[in-house]
Structures are given as C-alpha cells and as structure tokens.
Chain A
Amino acid sequence: MRTEHRTRRVLRRIALYVSLTVMALPFVVPTLWMVASSFKPLNEIFASPPSLFSASPTTAAYAEAFDFQPFARQYFNSVYIALVVTATVLLVSALAGYAFARIRFPGRNPLFITVLVGLLVPSEVTIVPLFQMFKLAGMVDTHWPLILVTAFAAPCVLATFVMRQFFIALPVELEEAARLDGLGRFGTWWRIAVPLAKPALSAVAILTFLASWNLYLEPTVYLTSPELFTLPQALTRFTDAYGGEMWNTQLAAATMTVVPVVVVFLVAQRQFVESLAHTGLKG
C-alpha cells in the first residue's frame, strides 16, 4: 500500500518533469538555435536535416556585424536610451503614483483617468502627428523622440499605474509618523515612501528597460542615420547591397543583443519575480 503510493508519487513527478521539459522547448530552442547558428557558415544555416552544432564553426559573422554597420555605436545608443528612459520613468511614475494614491486634491480622479488613456492609445495613432511635432521641433533623426515619448507616454503610464497600486496597498502609518515629525510631502515621499517602494520600483525599472530596449516602430520612423540606429532596427538592416538578407550576420548580431539581457535576467530572476509579486499588479 505504502510503496504503491510512493511509486505513484514518483511517476507523477516524472510526468511533471517530462511535460514541463517538452513545453519548455519552444521557449528555449529558438535562443539556443540562434546562438549556435551564428557560428555557422552561411551554407550550413539552412542545411537539412538541421543540426545544432556547426561542422566548421566560425566567428566571421561577428566581425562582419561590426564591419557592416556601426554596430558598437548602435549598441551604445540602445543602452543609453534605455537607461535614460528608465531613470526618467522611475522619477515621474514614483511621483505621480504616490500623489494619485495618497494626496487628495480636486480633480484627482479625472486626471488619473486622463493619464490611463495614455496606456490605451496605440502608438500607430500618434506616430504621424508626433513625427510632425518633432519635425517642427527639429528633432527628427535624433534620439529625442525615442526618449521623450517612452519616458512620458505608454510605458510611463503603466509604471504610474503600478506605483499607484503599490502605494495604495502600503500601510499609511509610517508616513503619518514622518509627517508629524515635520517632514513635508516631498520629504515624506523621498525619505519614507520611495525607500519602501523598492520592490515596485525595480519591477517598473525592468519593465521600462525592456520596453525601451525592444522599441521597433519608433526608431524605424524617426531615425535614418545608421550611427543613430538602435539595436532592433539595426538587426533588420543586415542586407547586402541588393536587399538580400545576410542571415548569419543577422544571427550573430541578434545573439549579441539577446545574450547579455538573458544573462542579467538569469542572475536577477529571483529578485525580479519577487518584485513583480510585490507590486499592486497582483490580485
């Protein structure tokens, strides 16, 4: 009786592992295949039957990626834009989220609903008018549109929403004590609320960084100079003089954009999952 129960448990455990592994394949294999294929010569990429490892591995495609486009510069562009955007969003959303949750002022709810609209407007609606506005401001083919729009429109609105939910859930007593000690609103926010909001802030930081890092439509529209390109846009430009795709170079470049982020995530995954769990986004 007892052993039978145990065997059933073991069997169920095995079934769980097998089904999870099978389910994980489409999540993992593309990334593995991308990394493996970036070391293949061109004629092996489409070889049939497909193989993960190359018969004659080469790093030529990696050199070509830097040779063909100012790829290092494009890498830097993506990194610094994402950092600037993330820092701005943290500041803006922590302020606004706190005020929408904690401070009573006339018109608070209408203003909050107005802000939420920013989450629902697809970028396709605003991209042409924004292009005209940035053209008037002389900012076309600069990084300003990518920074400003991401730092204040949709990704920031989501952040503001997350921060508001977080601050609503936070017990108010700590702040009350601080205010009795004579701290103003700003002081309370900066000394008490922001330090307590670290989990929510880190979730916001990660989501915002990814949103900026993955931006594709906007750079495609605003940027024409290759040295200003960001990575997702640069990835689609590895074509020869006649528009033919340079597959292996593309894969090498894609690997270089993906691997660092995946590694950072692997190292930080526990904190990340926990910080998301701590935000108001849960039930």
Chain B
Amino acid sequence: MRTARKLVSALALGTVALAAGCGGQSDPDDVALRMSVWTSNEDQLALFNTIADAYKATHPEITSITFESLPFAEYNTTLTTQIAGGNAPDLAWMGDLSADLIDAGALVPLTEPLKATADWGYDDLLPSATAEFSHDGNLYAYPFSNSPFALYVNTDLLDDAGQKLPAQPTWDDISSIGAAVHAKTGKGGFVINDFAYSSWNTLATVWTGFGASAWNADGTQCGFTSPEMTAAFEFIHRAAFVDESMPGPGITADFFAGDAAFAVAQVSRAGLLDGSFAYDVQPLPQGPAGTYSVIGQAGMGVLKSSDHTEAATGFLAFLTNPENAAKLAQYFPPPRTSLLSGDALAANNTKFSPEQLQAVVVDQIADAVTLPNHTSPAEIAQKAKTELDAMWNPDADVPAVLTSVCAAIDPLLAE
C-alpha cells in the first residue's frame, strides 16, 4: 500500500518537475513584448535583436522584447490558435491573415501614431505598398517586406540545350524554351515556386500577365470565369500536359537544386542560390496584357488584445523609422521611396548586381499588384483548390473547372 502511494506521489512530482518551466509569468509592472515572426534566419533575428536592444536602452520600462519564430507553413494556424487561446503576441508579422485580422478589428490603427512620431516620414511610404494593409484610410500593418516576383534563369541549362533567351521574353518564349530544355536534358522547364499544384494563388504571377485577377478590387466578384483567366489557365494547362514545359503534378523539380531552367519566385529567395550553377534574374515575362509586376507582401502590426498596445506601437514606430527601415532593407525590400534604389539595395546583396536589383525590385514595386488577398483566406484557398484539382489531368475541361471554382468561392466572396 505504502509503496503504491509513494509511486503515485513520485509520478505526480515527476510530472510537475518536468512540466514546470513552460509558462513563466512576468511581473505586471514590467513590459515584456513578444513579436511573432516566421523567419528563423539567424542574421535577420540578430538584426531585430540589435534594434530591440537599442530601444530598450532608452525605454527602461520595457524589460524584454522577444522575437518568436513560428514555422512558415503553419504560421497562420499557430498564430490563430495563440489568439484564440488567449496567448496572443503583442506584435506579429502577417501575410494573408491580415484581411481577417483587420476585418475582426483585432489590430491597432497605426496611421495616427506613426504620423505623430517625429521624423518618421509617413509620406515616404509608397501607396502601392500600403494599400493591402489599409482599411477606410487607416493603416493597420507596416508593409516591411515588398518582395517582387522575378524570373530566375538557370543559364547553364539553357546553354546545355542550346537555347537563347530573347531580350524581352514572353510567356510563350519561356514555355517553348522550357519545353526544349526538358526534351534535351530531362530537367524541368519552368517552375512556379511554391505552387506544387496546390497553392494556386501563386499563379497570380502568371495570370496577371494575361490581364486576369482572382476577384475584383473590392473582393466581391469572382474573376476566374473571365476570358483572360481562361486564357491564362489554358496556357498553364498546355505547358504542363502538352508542351511539358512545366513539371506535371507529383513531379518534384527544384530550381534552386538545379532541376529546372526557369523559376518564378520572389527576389527574397535569392538566398537559396548556392552557386552550383550560373543564373540570371529578370522581371517577369510579358503576357498578352504586356508587362506587369506582382509582389508578395508582409506586414507587421500590433494586436489589440495586447496588454501593452501603447508600448508595442511605440516599438513598432522605432523599428520602422527611416534609420531602422534602411537596416531592414538589406533583407526585405522596403516600402519607402527614399530607400528604393538599385545601389542602396545592392549594398547588402551579394547575389545580384545593382542593375539587376533596379530592374527586378525598384522598377517593379510602384505598379505592382499583390497576390490575391481576402478575408477567410484558408477557406477560400481550400474551396478553390478542391475544384482546381480537376484541372490537373491531361483532358481537363478548363472553362468548366473555372466555372466550378467561381461557384465554390462565390458564397465566401459575398460574405
């Protein structure tokens, strides 16, 4: 009997001891700020910590500023679970979750406090950069990263296949060169990075060139049935199943491992180039609608649920002031006109020349469209993906599939 009781209490104590040290409550008088980010890059985190240390030096009430790295693939789910669980951070990076957060009134409006900050230079911000994170004239997240999509070229593979890229290539050029490279070398033609026949919103990097968009400007009407969208998807379908210039579904071809001739990917992916092959980077190819540019954006905002919204907003203003914005610009293409020049960006970029950066970053941002963004992003993404899956076999009826996409997401757009 005694032995058993000892065993029970030992077990209980053991679990307490082992599970302890997981929470850690801070003193209510101290301000401890947490910011959720999705980078786990040590250099980037080091930069954020340096800026945080500088801020703490002048603000003794702030005892700590922690940057919590959440995995990119599950960032939205994790952040939402934290918010629902009453464990929300004070500040957070956000991508396509921003629409939901703004819609739910979960973010602190930033326009006023930023304008009130001395020398912050609110008018320096590019309108094309702030549009996505604004609602009724108020900015809710600072668009710290505005990374244009560009065309990466594996020039070694092109040489192997005896192909030459024209000065201003069109999508048709890319497809025919890609098909030739595939036929000659067995490697992939062009890859839309991260698409993987699942994340269809990345196809905006193609369909924008055809003059199509996923929905209209205020997000109420589905755009998948438009003639432009149909043309775009017919092009993609042909590339995957007829010309074989784009690796088909279920085939892994990683441009950055040297497995494909072209990739459409954000400029910020340049870090994945390891020098194992010769490369070039160019603006996106021309589509039937001419030249165009697409950016992927990330913002940082302050959550209303924070106990220290004022302190958090103060830190955000410091983190994004002209001086610090210039430091962040070495990793993230900035939203400030004053910082956008090829030479300025090249100072910290070893992968691309100033001319390349001018062409693929600076010249693109002002007129760029963003990837499709809407409230309930996960549900729209899933509903449309379910329908689009029917597109990815050789004898798909492209217009019919697109009609079913609209039928599936129309109720969500109408909400």
Contact = CB atoms under 8 A, between A and B. Distances in A.
B39 interface: yes
Contacts, number: 74
Interface stretch (B17-25, B169-177, B397-405): B17-25
Contacts of B73: 239, 243
A251 to B, nearest CB: 14
Contact of A80 (B18, B74, B257, B269): B18
B85 interface: yes
Given A135-B85, A242-B269, A84 B18 contact: yes
B258 interface: yes
A155 B254 CA distance: 42
Nearest to B36: A224
Contacts of B49: none
Contacts of B257: 42-43
Interface in B217-272: 252, 254, 257-259, 269, 272
Interface residues of B, number: 36
Nearest to B257: A43
Interface stretch (A7-15, A56-64, A137-145): A137-145
Q: How large is the interface on A (under 10, 10 to 19, 20 to 34, 35 or more residues)?
A: 20 to 34
Interface in A114-168: 131, 135, 138, 140-144, 147
Contact of A190 (B1, B8, B252): B1
A228 interface: yes
B87 A144 contact: no
B104 to A, nearest CB: 19
Contacts of A68: 40
A186 interface: yes
B350 interface: no
B1 A239 contact: no
Given A43-B258, A187-B1, A224 B81 contact: yes
Interface in A196-255: 221, 224-226, 228, 237, 239-244
Contacts of A226: 69
Nearest to B73: A243
B11 A135 contact: no
B269 to A, nearest CB: 7
A84 B11 contact: yes
A243 B194 contact: yes
27 contacts: A43-B258, A68-B40, A84-B15, A87-B7, A91-B11, A140-B85, A140-B87, A142-B22, A142-B23, A143-B15, A143-B19, A143-B22, A147-B19, A190-B1, A190-B3, A224-B70, A225-B22, A226-B69, A228-B22, A239-B71, A241-B40, A241-B41, A242-B194, A243-B71, A243-B72, A243-B73, A244-B254
